[in-house]
Structure 1
Amino acid sequence: MYAFDLKDELLYGYRLDKAEVTVTAPRSDNNINISDIFINPYRNPGNGLGNNNTNTNPTPLPYWEYSGGENQDQDQKPCKGDPVKNPEIVSSGKSGKKGGTFGCTRKDSNMVCGGVKGLKNHDGIDIKAKVNTSTFAMHDATVSKIRNSFNPGQYKKDSYGNFVLLTAKVNGKTIFIKYNHLNKVSVKKGDKVKAGDIIGINGNTGNAAAKGVIPHIHIQTYDSNWKSINPANFLHTKFDSNYNSIPNKC
């Protein structure tokens, strides 16, 4: 089941007070798209939908239930330390899954990384994330910075799009964790979050909106001196030598 907090969203010309919408997929493939979700969740009695009046007292329509489907699985709360349930590393074209990991992992004939010509640095880990599913905090943290100015799917070259930056203490050490390419940010600067709290909606903003790019969260981590460090060290899920996730239990 999906629940969406649409507080202060403008929908069909109405400023919503609060909307928790649960929906069922209307297709036989048992998957769901964002277009299935935002279908008249509120009615403005007497005025009708489609005008530009603001409805300050919306009436909820009946709820629908949703079960099954690949998106539902990824919207479930993950293990502590994971940003989504059952995380997978995304392939990055000619560099494969290795290119979705941290370090000198990408192929580029024009670049030099670690003294090796033909390699390019990748400063994070790319975790597959279905568009418009939930982004979860990996660890207890404080929201240090956000950007929420991109529209869902909006492209910009060399940009991380919408992001959330968290300050966390893991194993006694302060680290910074940045979640990039979100369609929407659900927290504000200064918020305290717990591991497993929803901090945003996964998407493909910034350069992740380019053609052929698999939707993902580009996760970056830094130590207290802002040195880039390997995010895989702070994920609960581990990966084998072929960069496939190793099955585990919380």
Structure 2
Amino acid sequence: ADTAQFALLLLLGLSALFFLVSTIYILSLSAHDVLTNLPWKGQLFRIATPMLISSSLFLVISWSDTLMLGYFLPEERVGLYRIVFKVATLITFAQFALNTVVAPMVSAIHKDHSKLHDLAHKVAQLNLITSGPIFIVILLFGTSLIGFFGVSNPAQAYPWLIVLAFGQLTNAFSGPVLNILNMTGYEKSARNTMLVVAVLNIALNALLIPSFGPLGAAYSTTLTMVGWNIWAATLVYKYHGVIAVPFLTKYSRKND
């Protein structure tokens, strides 16, 4: 538990340091440019700060279940839960790489709703192709996957894995909704979404873990993950008329 807490604090500190160094570097590149006036600097910080907060809150959500499990349960159970959590995240492994490419594309074309629809449709298809089969593999061979890490009784952790995998599948199917908000001028909406979800996640963990242990933590994480994706997807549709869910993107185009 102490190691996990240290890792979380280290990640938060590195994120803040990276934000600070990146900002200073960007400003230094244009030290003799007209864009370095104070209004522009203020605008940069107003845009970047909500994104930093959103990223930090994502780390809080990713670790709060593990940290709170460490308070209630022995280290062995916490370690097993963390293994299961990492196996479930294989579903969205490709999505994280895809988001790195998609984010600047969204920023470049967000004023052209037709192109934004096309991009959302393609991303939805890729997410379906990459995440769907992995979810099926986890569903069918989840116990074996857990046992691969030397767990003596992997069957006990299989229900946790299925619950977490469902949350990751929802995350993949929702598309890059937070990226769309961040890259189209609605970074404060993304920040507010993550803030509410982080508080809800901690509350659910505190409520469910004492009674249900790791299964309660899995439900807390999945419920908050589903909640933020539904709400962020609703905001994306409200602001841009885009639905990034597979099979529904064409519908959003017709109603643009």
TM-score class, shorter-chain normalisation, is: under 0.3
Structure with bigger RCO (C-alpha 8 Å, 6+ apart): 2
TM-score, normalised to structure 1, is: 0.24
Greater helix share, structure number: 2
Greater strand share, structure number: 1
